[in-house]
A and B are shown apart, each in its own frame.
Chain A
Amino acid sequence: MNKIFLVVQREFLTRVKKKTFLLTTIGLPILIFGLYALIIYFSVESGSVVTVAVADKAQLFNGEIKSDDDKINFQFVNDYNEASLKEKLRKKEFSAYLLVPDSTKVMRAADLKVVSNESIGVISQERIEKRIHSALEKRRLLSLNLTQGQLDSIQAKNRIQFPTLEGDSEKENVAGFSYLIGIVSGFIIYIVLFVYGTMVMRGVMEEKVSRIAEVIISSVKPFQLMMGKILGIGAVGLLQFIIWIVLISMLPLLLSVFSPEMAQQMAESKMSGADISQQTGAMAEALASFKQLPLLLIAGSFLFYFVGGYLLYSSLFAAVGSAVNEDPQDAQSLLFPIMMPIVFGMAIMMKAANDPNSSLAIFGSMFPLTSPIVMMARLPYNPPLWQVFLSYGLLIAGFLLTTWLAAKIYRTGILMYGKKPSWKELSKWAFKRS
């Protein structure tokens, strides 16, 4: 046991002390956050205000087009003619003009031209179009002798809900949110399996290629070396995730310290929508549905599947690493059958997030090779608890089985040099008695 700890310690420290660890662990979230901030910055700052002069000769809009203060501004200059509009545009008194000829009728479609000096950006074009359309729509409805009150009731939206039979009246449907939580956590597990699994494989290959494996296993048992490596890298992964979580939750705070302006903009950008009250309502709703999720179960299961899935797959990755030699191409062909269930798991997970109780989803969330990914997508939909615990149990059993088989391949493979073993040989190594 003491020796496993020594191996774990070395695996952990050599990786954590590397510069690349610092770079990926601290640099990556900063990079992602920086990009995010940049995107928001540009979307907030996107260009200057576009001022559109409207010469409404036909009284089409009745002087009513909603302006958007910091983006689009409509000015009514009904007494200007085409020549004066052109001249003012050249002098840059406004960015564009819209001339509505006398002959235009409210109820008849007509071509409207927004003339500008330089071509207007796509986003601004879309905004201008939307404003003009809604103004025109309102005018048309009012011209049918509707009152403003009638108009408002036409435009009122219904809220449509999807409660389940079992759910009590308070329990509302949280499908959208469940979907998101499920997909995101399943995807994280998928990434974990790939990234740390291949890290284990490369570690084993390094030991074999540098020919230190035999030196080490004259001091420790091959199983101790393998487990030490798996646990050490697992600890690196956990540490990395903890740092990421802390950093991500701290970054907005840091940002407001270093650049208060930008933080303010970010906060504003969340609120400045078409309809602020509607958005806050949606957010409150999201928060409420968040509280209804089985949060403790999701968090606990995430940790369990993170560790369990990692342990299950990393021993397989270690076995592959021990079987191949210098040639990374050998690894590729042996990796294929390990990658397949992970990718399948991802595919089933996408389906399970849409249809959590289909037989494929239930199977995928039980089968140990896919359950860490698939079950995460089912959990927000409150699957029967017995299924969750059965899945836990099967994962533990699967982990014990793969580790047992992988350890046998590993102890033979790590001492074999020369050509890549065939599948037949590998299975012989795995099932021979020790």
Chain B
Amino acid sequence: MSDAILELKNLKKHYSSHKAVDDISFTINEGNIFGLLGPNGAGKTTLLRMITGIIYPDEGAVLFNGKPFNALEHVSQIGYMPEERGLYKKMKIADQIIYLARLKGLSRQDAISKIKYWFDKFEMHSWANKKVEDLSKGMSQKLQFVTTVMHEPKLIILDEPFSGLDPVNANLIKDEIFNLARKGSTIIFSTHRMEQVEEICNQIVLVNLGKKILDGTVQDVKQEFKEHVFNIKFNSAVFPESLASPIFTVKKAGRQEVVLQVPDGVTNNEVLQYFIQQNLSIASFNEVLPSLNDIFITLVEGTKAVSRSFEKQYQ
């Protein structure tokens, strides 16, 4: 694909005791907000460290804008906020931001003008001469975010960006993420908090035990894992006993609503058709799609079970 900003090809990384990343490939298109999901210890951080050039893969390749990743050339186009993050505690905030920006290749003047922009945005002007150790955790998180995106990187990698943030500040950062994506930055967003992913990401990859187990857009994934369950609400009371049809079974029934399980192959229209013929007044009709959370749990538990039986077999 021509507009792929990042391509991972068969990445492998072995540590002495285990395979942290085992043959993972995927592609991220420019301007996407990409969710890298997985339980703790799945290999997300190792994957991100290989993307940022902090560690090298044992096998495979990382292509940045179609070219093999080169730390010297591409580092200035990447902004990485690791999960284990921090700042120099004793350094003044303005000095710190300038230092980190200059390490990314910005000139001093550029850095100073950028600071102005972000300080205005997050109302941080009074902080400039404070030291990091004087800030609250939420404040230093915001500061960390600013240092990550200061140099307007093309690719922004955020590992658990909302941990330790209150809802107000989390929203502030979330809005900023959307903003940056609109301006053309690509964002990789690593987390195990599914509700945030559903809200923010349009493409996801799920990894577990070093392997990729899911890849696609949020919509596609939900479609793939849907269980053909429909929720129908009526304007008047219904008697579920009176509803009988070969095209569905009633899972649950309330006074004015039913939840139906429909076998594979039956279309939405056929279901709707049936109720229209029954001459019932329908208030709403929708297919219940699984939450990413459910999909996540199902898949992760599935792979765990597999790996456990595998381990037992070869012990």
Contact = CB atoms under 8 A, between A and B. Distances in A.
A210 B75 CA distance: 22
B80 interface: yes
A251 interface: no
Contacts of B49: 415
Contacts of B52: 218
Nearest to A207: B88
A221 B52 CA distance: 11
Nearest to B159: A214
A207 B90 CA distance: 11
A218 B99 contact: no
B54 A215 contact: no
B297 interface: no
Contacts of B56: 434
B89 interface: yes
A214 B54 contact: yes
Given A10-B99, A415-B49, A415-B54, A218 B90 contact: no
Contacts of B99: 6, 10
Contacts of B71: 221
A212 B86 contact: yes
Interface residues of A, number: 22
Interface stretch (B20-28, B100-108, B301-309): B100-108
A306 B84 CA distance: 37
A211 B86 contact: yes
A71 to B, nearest CB: 55
Interface in B175-223: none
> Which label, helix, strand, loop or mixed, suits the secondary structure of the B interface?
loop
B91 A14 contact: yes
B101 to A, nearest CB: 9
B80 A215 contact: yes
Given A221-B71, A434-B56, A215 B86 contact: yes
A7 B144 CA distance: 19
Contacts of B147: 215
A228 to B, nearest CB: 10
A6 B102 contact: yes
Interface string B20-51: 00000000000000000000000000000100
B54 A212 contact: no
Interface centre among B78, B81, B87, B99 (most CB of A within 10 A): B99
Interface centre among A219, A221, A415 (most CB of B within 10 A): A219
A218 B75 contact: yes
Contacts of A6: 99, 102-103
Contact of B16 (A10, A14, A221, A428): A428
A220 interface: yes
Contact of B86 (A7, A210, A218, A415): A210
A238 B53 CA distance: 35
Given A210-B88, A428-B16, A219 B103 contact: yes
Contacts of B18: none
A215 B104 contact: no
A212 B88 contact: yes
A177 interface: no
A211 B81 CA distance: 11
A330 to B, nearest CB: 18
B80 A218 contact: yes
Contacts of A221: 71
B82 interface: yes
Contacts of A207: 88
A3 interface: yes
Contact of A211 (B53, B85, B91): B85
Contacts of B84: 211, 214, 417
A89 interface: no
Contacts of A3: 103
Contacts of B87: 210, 212, 215
B129 to A, nearest CB: 13
Contacts of A10: 99
Given A6-B99, A10-B99, A219-B75, A214 B90 contact: no
Contacts of A214: 54, 82, 84-85
B24 to A, nearest CB: 19
Interface centre among A212, A221, A417 (most CB of B within 10 A): A212
A212 to B, nearest CB: 4
Given A3-B103, A434-B56, A218 B16 contact: no
Interface in B56-99: 56, 71, 75, 78, 80-82, 84-91, 99
B91 A215 contact: no
B89 A218 contact: no
A311 to B, nearest CB: 23
Nearest to A414: B54
B16 A215 contact: no
Contacts of B16: 428
A237 B56 CA distance: 35
Given A14-B88, A215-B87, A219-B100, 16 more contacts: A3-B103, A6-B99, A6-B102, A211-B82, A212-B88, A214-B84, A215-B85, A215-B100, A215-B147, A216-B103, A218-B80, A218-B82, A219-B75, A221-B71, A415-B49, A417-B84
20 contacts: A6-B102, A7-B103, A14-B91, A206-B89, A210-B87, A210-B89, A211-B82, A211-B84, A212-B86, A215-B80, A215-B81, A215-B85, A215-B86, A215-B87, A218-B53, A218-B78, A218-B80, A218-B82, A219-B100, A428-B16
Q: List the 9 closest A-B pairs by CB distance, nearest first.
A: A211-B86, A219-B103, A218-B80, A210-B86, A214-B82, A212-B86, A211-B84, A218-B52, A219-B104
